[in-house]
Amino acid sequence: MDEDMNGFRIWAAADNGADLHSKWLCGGGAKAAPALMLGTGLLVLMIGCGKKTPGYAGPPDTVRQIIMKKWEIDPKRVEVPQGARVELVVTSTDVEHGIDVPGLGIREPVQPEHPAVIRFLAQTPGVYPMSCSVLCGRGHNQMTGEIVITARSSSK
């Protein structure tokens, strides 16, 4: 490789007589594949490819209040029955937080004085971990809880 008078490298043309631009466009750009894959991966993360819990129309069957504050989620355990149309009203009493329930496809920012209202249909029974998704301070990792969807009883 040659250098110019300031010590910068000057890229020589490809050995087959094509200039660097045509080498990049015509298949000589094997180095571009990892960058393209990384870019595509970042795009998928930004758009989201996770599970989305179905919403519903009409009034909710169950409304639950969740308060996020340094450094806890209150209540830590939220129980809802299977099949219920659930509305979560999530508030912050201090700084910005975010509620994240990956198993239910929930990830919403929560601003002080601006509650996040999240509606979903509780379909699959189970325990779904809940956490704060916004780095809010030194106790951020302690902000955990769970949403429990309880199975319908089979007896009538």
All structural domains of the chain, each given as residue ranges with its CATH number in brackets, are: 2-47 (no CATH), 62-150 (2.60.40.420)
- Given a contact cutoff of 8 angstroms between Cβ atoms, the answer to whether 9 and 3 are in contact is yes
Residues with Cβ within 8 Å of residue 46, at least 6 apart in sequence: none
pLDDT of residue 56: 74
Does the pLDDT value for residue 11 go beyond 90?
A: no
The pLDDT tens digits of the residues spanning 111-152 come to 998 999 999 999 999 999 999 999 888 889 899 999 999 998
* 26 pLDDT tier (thresholds 50, 70, 90): very low
Query: 72 is written with which tokens?
Result: 């806890």
Alpha carbon distances (Å) from 118 to 26, 40, 63, 66, 136: 49, 29, 10, 11, 21
Query: 46 is written with which tokens?
Result: 């930004």
pLDDT of residue 128: 97
Cα 73 versus chain centre, distance: 18
For residue 71, whether the previous peptide bond is cis, meaning omega lies within 30 degrees of 0, is yes
- Full-model pTM: 0.64
Residues with Cβ within 8 Å of residue 39, at least 6 apart in sequence: none
Mean pLDDT confidence for 4-8: 59
pLDDT of residue 24: 45
